[in-house]
Structure formats: structure tokens, C-alpha cells
Amino acid sequence: MKPTRADLGSLFPEVEKIAAGNRYADSFFSGRFANFGEFQTAARAKLLEVLRYQPEPVAPRAEVIERVDCGEYFREKIVFSTTPVFRVPAYVLIPKKLNGPAPAIVDLHSHGGMFLFGKEKVIDLGANHPAMTAYHRENYDGRPTATEFVRRGYVVISIDTFMFGERRAMMDADLASGWDRSRYSMDDVRRLNQQCRAKETTLVKALALAGTTWPGIVFWDDLRTVDYLVTRPEVDPQRIGCVGISMGGYRSMFLSALDARIRAGCVVGFMSTVRPMIHAHLDTHSWVHFLPELHRYLDWPDVVSLAAPRALLVQQCSRDGLFPLAGMKESVEKIANVYERAGAKTKFTGRFYDEPHRFTRAMQDDAFAWFERNLA
């Protein structure tokens, strides 16, 4: 058989044929739905079904672990419940000068191959670990977004998603290193990070045997983060947005789709139609980005379009090696089409930047201005 440059090599043609027979049964373009409302109801229910994870609701029971005066704002470290199983660590940033309830942002951290840190990826703690200083520079152009948002008057929350930060996997042999990351050398970071990276597949296998999915846990925690956020007296529940790059963009896509309380969602560096990715954009992605069964029913543009008629900004990097450019462009066209047919054409903005996979200051400035307009 003639060799290919496909990630699957000689198996690619067969998989491509399987994919070609899939018509996305719950897409707005499937012809099944009389109007956008019917599509939104059915597709949102299908999303919740394929997550395979809907635990019993619980009260957040938030506990403040630490409160730090950062000059212009306060930073609280908290833990709160998202399920009967999980107590989730988070940072909440609160501006000092508030004239009543403020707009709020759920800042969803990225993957970036860095498991030892989660919420710290979007926050300047002042005394950052050298690994985070480098991460901020490479992924956020030296300006972590949550800290910039709070300086602009937003209440901001960022959690550790499952498998990251304080929720990372630690092997028995590594427990001697302890959990205090401030004590880790860069060699420790590399070694322990590699351990976590090697355990992605193990986690997916374990959750499959447990009857659930990794994305299901991630998205459920993000939904419950909004539950907690609206309990804060500093927050205006009618003015909540979410943002994230890469895996954070993936999380922002699903949170915007599933939670009508998100008035403005910004997806950065994570959008494509999925079929073109099968050829040579599989190995560029984490296991968390593969939700079993989803793509029998919906493409990613279908998912994010569930946010209509609420405001949606998709920022893409034209030199992003994680996605095929054709798929990125096609996705924007599909989203725009759905928004127009939903009667919300002006609420969707798609922008391309001549950049590799990162959230530059120029991109952030565009996003900040967009949030100002949509969460005013």
C-alpha cells in the first residue's frame, strides 16, 4: 500500500471512508429541525448525554483558604464542591473599587503539556515559579489574562481542571517530592510533568471502566464553577463571560454551549471542523479533546453555535500547527451561517491572526474590547 503522511499511516483511508459516511445527525444542517430552537434543545441534550457524567447536584460549600491583598484587588484561594466526589481548588480575583455587582469572567486555563500547574497559568501571583514565568511568556505573551481582567474591573475565577495543578496525578514513587510546587526545581517539574503526560491514557482507560469520560468531568466542573460564581455578592449574574486558549478554548466552547448564563464566550486557538483533522492533526492533541460518540452527532462548529443568540468571539491563529487551516476557515463559515439563521448574525465574530498557537497581547486587547461591549 502506498505510504501516506497521515497520523494513522496505512489505516487512514479506511478511517476516512468511515468519517465520510457520518452526517452529524444532530447538526443544525441535518435537515431534522424546523428552527434553531429545536436544534438547540435537541443538540444540548445530546451533548449532556455523550458526556456520560451527570452526578447529583451539591451545594458549593466554599471555603476560603487564603486571602491576599494585591494592591488593586484581592486574591482568594478557595475550594468548593462540584460533585459529591470533588472539592475543587480555585483562585477568585476581586477588584477593590466596585460600585455594585460587577461583570465576571470564568478564565479557563490551557493544557500546553503542563500538568503541574492549572489555574496559575492565567494568573500572575507576583512570585511565580520559573516554569510559570516561561509558560506565561510563551502562551500568553507575558500577560496572564485573569490578572489583566481583574485590573479592568472584572471578578475572575479560575479552577484547576481534573488532572492539572493540585488535581494532578502523583505516582507512589514520586510522593517523596511532595505536593508543594514552590519547592520543585525545573528538573523536578520536567520529571513529574512527564509522569502526568504518560498517565493521560491511563486516566482515560480508568474513566471508561468507571463508566464516564474525562471531558465529562472537565465540563461538569466548569458548569458548577458558574453555580458558585453567581453566589458571590460582588458578581452581576447577568454579566458573566468565559475565555480560554487551547484546551481553555475547548472548555470555553462547551461552557458557552451548555450554560445560558454565559452571556459572552471567547474561544481562542481552538476551533476547526473535525473531519480534516483525521489526516494529520490527531497526535497534536491531548486525550481530553476526544469525546467518544460526539462526532456521530455534532461537529465542533455545531457545538459552539449552541451559544446563539448570545455573544461569541472565536479567535484563530492562522499559523496554528494544532489544526488544519482549511478546517479552521470552514468552521468560521459554519458558525456564521448558524448565527445568521438563528437571527443573531451580529453576535458572532470570527477573527484570524497571523500567529502561531498563542494568545498574544494584541489578541487579548481585541478580546478585552469585545467583552467591554458585550458585558457592559
Q: What is the pLDDT of residue 4?
A: 60
Query: Would residue 27 count as lying in a domain?
Result: no
Cβ–Cβ < 8 Å for 311, 264: yes
Say what the pTM is.
0.97
Evaluate whether 66 touches 77 at the Cβ level (below 8 Å): yes
Structural domain including 196 reads 63-344
Percent of the chain past pLDDT 90, that is, above it, reads: 98
Instruction: Output the domain CATH number for residue 274.
Output: 3.40.50.1820
Asked if the model's pLDDT at residue 277 lies above 90, the reply is yes
Q: Looking at residue 1, what is its pLDDT?
A: 38
For the cut 90, the answer to whether the pLDDT of residue 376 exceeds it is no
Q: Cell numbers at residue 334, please?
A: 459554519
What is the per-residue pLDDT for 319? 98
pLDDT, tens only, 281-299: 999 999 999 999 999 999 9
| Cell numbers that stand for 345 in this block | 448574525
Nearest to 28 by CA among 369, 363, 334: 334
Give the pLDDT of residue 5.
Answer: 87
Residue 68: per-residue pLDDT: 98
Read off the pLDDT of residues 116-156 as tens digits, 9 standing for 90 and up. 999 999 999 999 999 999 999 999 999 999 999 999 999 99
Rounded mean pLDDT, 254-280: 98
Q: Would you tell me how many other CB atoms lie within 10 Å of the CB of residue 292?
A: 14
Q: 363 lies in a domain?
A: no
Q: Quick one: pLDDT at residue 61?
A: 98
- Output the DSSP codes for 337-348: HHHHHTT-GGGE
In this structure, are residues 107 and 145 in contact, taking their beta carbons and an 8 Å threshold? yes
How many domains in the chain?
1
Check residue 3 and give its pLDDT. 41
- What is the per-residue pLDDT across 18-43, written as a single tens digit (0 to 9) for each? 999 999 999 999 999 999 999 999 99
Q: Which three cell numbers stand for residue 58?
A: 451539591
Q: What backbone torsions phi and psi does residue 63 show, to the nearest 5 degrees? A: -130, 125
139: in domain: yes
Q: Which three-class secondary structure state does DSSP give residue 65?
A: strand
Give a yes or no: residue 352 inside a domain: no
The answer as to whether 67 is a domain residue is: yes
